Amino acid sequence: MASASHTVRFVVPDDDDGLRLDQALARHVPGLSRRRARVLLDIGGVFVDRARVKVAGRIVRAGQTIEANLGGALERAAAEGTGTAARERVDAALPAYHVVHEDEHVLVVDKPAGLVTAPTPESDRGNLLDLLQRRPGGGTVYLVHRLDMPTSGLLVFARTPAANRELGDRFAAHDVERAYLAVVAGAWPEALVRIERPVGGRRAVTHVLAREVLAGGRATLVRFGLETGRSHQIRIHATAVGHPVLGDTQHGTDALRGADVPRAPRLALHATVLGFVHPATGERVRWERPLPDELAGWVETLRAGDTP
């Protein structure tokens, strides 16, 4: 299991003025050897005065603030060591993404669960945006929106500054069609078709359609539509009404109700529909992707156990 992410910050004391950065990290971050410090630098997990730094031999000065971001990215990378070949081996082990549509203006991708959408403080490598930008002939790619690491499904990226601005405006105005499939705990009430509850202090609205009761009422396949798009909105709303998304260890539960029903293989949430006005043509475009195999197979197992 990957270690939990955490950040260690320290101010370089007078006695450490002139040290190499990897030496300072090893001296002030508990459990971080110089070797692991160099790996952390290599993947982009270190900031000096808020700027990402990757050079182990950089000289630090008294009064500088150093931030080391530790977690799963370091654990995965440390097993391979430092250098270009090591980073390529880590990238090769990442789950595969699928390009659904690509033109001169937009790029639509089906993201797998387990892949981060964009750089994080832990690392600027091994995320979907980074992989797209480093494709042969990939060119510049702009981040428009995100999916959480454990969520799979459709994302759009921009290929030009103009497309990035246009799509950003569409998302800000909630003029984008986004629908998700999820399996939630228990029998979802058919009358509950709209949830309006603030998320992070901001208005958040989710539309709901209960698609199929599974496992004798111990789970439900649900389609969620986003009117607004707050971070973790579906997961928070589902938990708030007593039917958490299965496999959600952060907001809900990681097991089904009922010991005789198989546990979710991962977070049972998939971005199944994405539609928007194309920033160049002005036409409304739309894509739909079914549940990925690991969730689809699990849902079939739940159907087979429909009778309690």
Phi–psi pair at 41, nearest 5 degrees = -65, -40
Please, is 169 exposed, middle or buried when counting C-beta atoms within 10 Å of its C-beta (0-12, 13-18, 19+)?
exposed
- Token output for 263: 């546990």
d(CA 53, CA 275): 38
d(CA 15, CA 257): 57
Q: Are 196 and 190 in contact (CB under 8 A)?
A: no
Q: Is 306 a catalytic residue?
A: no
- Catalytic residue from among 148, 175, 260, 293: 148
Residues linked to residue 183 through DSSP beta bridges, in sequence order: 221
Phi-psi region of 174 (alpha: psi -120 to 50; beta: other; left: phi over 0): left
d(CA 5, CA 259): 31
Alpha carbon distances (Å) from 273 to 9, 70, 112, 287: 41, 34, 15, 6
| Catalytically annotated residues | 148
